[in-house]
Structure 1
Amino acid sequence: MHCKQWIFDMDGTLTDSMVVVWEGAPEALLARFGRTPKADLHETLLTMGMEDGAQYLIREYALPLDRNGYLDVMREVIAQLYEKVELKPGVRDTLARLRAEGARMCICSNTWSSQCRAVLTRLGIDEYFDFYIEARGAMSKSSPAPFMEALHRLGGTSPAGCAVCEDAIYAAQTAHDAGFYLVGIQDVSSAADAPALRRVCDQFLPDWTALDWAQV
């Protein structure tokens, strides 16, 4: 195994949370205030970042919230939805084998670290990860910065010897361009991006049971 460092996204990569949490959260938040979401809510929010999406929901649905209040309520909603989240097939066995073969692992996620840790602790796999990186702002996965920081903190020096595991094409493209070994995971939320993911990934998997160990 030439990849001794492994950087994992969480949502849609290790967990089945993209639809359950990130597509479900705006509707769950609106339901708290008795609002009925429009039919195109999901498609509209896909074109926005988190900040713009918050302002849109507050404005469009006349929510009695300011930005900070919105963030507080949304965190509560998200935490509740994460209670329904499960691991994708093969995750537990994959992590156990990586540890047995001496790999070091971390999480690099858009989701705040405390929430990631709570989810992965509940699911019994937090112990496999040395640390968590929040990929936000200057550390967005649109930049190689979070991946390079993770590589160095894991004790690596070469991106080619470090696997990045992703389900999102923008993050996968960044890691590919920076020279990392790229493992793509299929997810229903990013089905439209599957052809593009397949092109940039060293391995593109339907789930973790399909990982080709001879190639990593």
Structure 2
Amino acid sequence: MHCKQWIFDMDGTLTDSMVVVWEGAPEALLARFGRTPKADLHETLLTMGMEEGAQYLIREYALPLDRNGYLDVMREVIAQLYEKVELKPGVRDTLARLRAEGARMCICSNTWSSQCRTVLTRLGIDEYFDFYIEARGAMSKSSPAPFMEALHRLGGTEPAGCAVCEDALYAAQTAHDAGFYLVGIQDTTSAADAPALRRICDQFLPDWTALDWAQA
């Protein structure tokens, strides 16, 4: 194993949460207010950022919320949905072996860090991570900035010696272009992107039990 620093996304990479949480949250929020989602809700929201999606739901479904009220309710909904989430196969053993081999690890996720910590503490793996980076705004994964910050905070200097683990194509592409060792994880919500992910990843895994340690 040559990678001594490991940067992990959470949703869809370590946790099987993309469908349960991020596809389920808008419907759960609408249900709180007695609204019935339209058939194309998921397809519509996929084209929007989080802010735009909030405005769309408030307007389209006449929700009695302003932006801040929406965010408060959505956080409550998401926190409840995360209570159902489990780890992907092989995660626990992979993290234990990485620590045993001296690797340092962190989380770099679009999900706010306090929620990540709550989820991973419940699942018993928070102890493996030195810190959490919230990849939003100027620190979006569309930019290499969060990955470079994570690398340096983990004590690394060269991207090639640091693994970035992702299920999302746009984030994986950013890490690839910045020279990181890229581990892609297959997820049902990004199935359409699997061929593109496979092309740019150093390893593309169906789950963590398939990691090639000799190459990592």
What range describes the TM-score normalised by the shorter chain of this pair?
over 0.9
Deviation of 1:163 (Å)? 0.1
- Structure 1 residue aligned with 2:63: 63
Deviation of 1:101 (Å)? 0.1
Q: TM-score, normalised by structure 2?
A: 1.00
Deviation of 1:51 (Å)? 0.1
Q: Output the CA distance in 2 between the equivalents of 1:187 and 1:74.
A: 24
Deviation of 1:161 (Å)? 0.1
Deviation of 1:148 (Å)? 0.1
Q: Output the CA distance in 1 between the equivalents of 2:151 and 2:144.
A: 11
Q: Output the CA distance in 2 between the equivalents of 1:189 and 1:174.
A: 19
Deviation of 1:21 (Å)? 0.1
Output one character per residue of 1:25-49: Cα deviation in whole Å (capped at 9) or x when no partner.
0000000000000000000000000
| SS of the residue 1:213 aligns to | coil
Deviation of 1:169 (Å)? 0.1
Deviation of 1:154 (Å)? 0.1
Deviation of 1:97 (Å)? 0.1
Deviation of 1:130 (Å)? 0.0
How many residues align? The count is 216
Output one character per residue of 1:155-195: Cα deviation in whole Å (capped at 9) or x when no partner.
00000000000000000000000000000000000000000
Output one character per residue of 1:94-132: Cα deviation in whole Å (capped at 9) or x when no partner.
000000000000000000000000000000000000000
Deviation of 1:79 (Å)? 0.0
Structure 1: stretches of 5+ with no match in the other structure = none
Q: TM-score, normalised by structure 1?
A: 1.00
| SS of the residue 2:214 aligns to | helix
Deviation of 1:85 (Å)? 0.2
| SS of the residue 2:142 aligns to | coil
Q: Output the CA distance in 1 between the equivalents of 2:147 and 2:199.
A: 20
Q: Output the CA distance in 2 between the equivalents of 1:117 and 1:45.
A: 26
Q: Output the CA distance in 1 between the equivalents of 2:111 and 2:66.
A: 21
Deviation of 1:4 (Å)? 0.1
Deviation of 1:5 (Å)? 0.0
Q: Output the CA distance in 2 between the equivalents of 1:19 and 1:142.
A: 22
C-alpha RMSD of matched pairs (Å): 0.2
- Structure 1 residue aligned with 2:22: 22
| SS of the residue 1:24 aligns to | helix
Structure 2: stretches of 5+ with no match in the other structure = none
Deviation of 1:55 (Å)? 0.1
Matched, 1:184 2:184: yes
Output one character per residue of 1:7-31: Cα deviation in whole Å (capped at 9) or x when no partner.
0000000000000000000000000
Q: Output the CA distance in 2 between the equivalents of 1:23 and 1:142.
A: 21
Deviation of 1:92 (Å)? 0.1
Name the % identity: 96
| SS of the residue 1:116 aligns to | helix
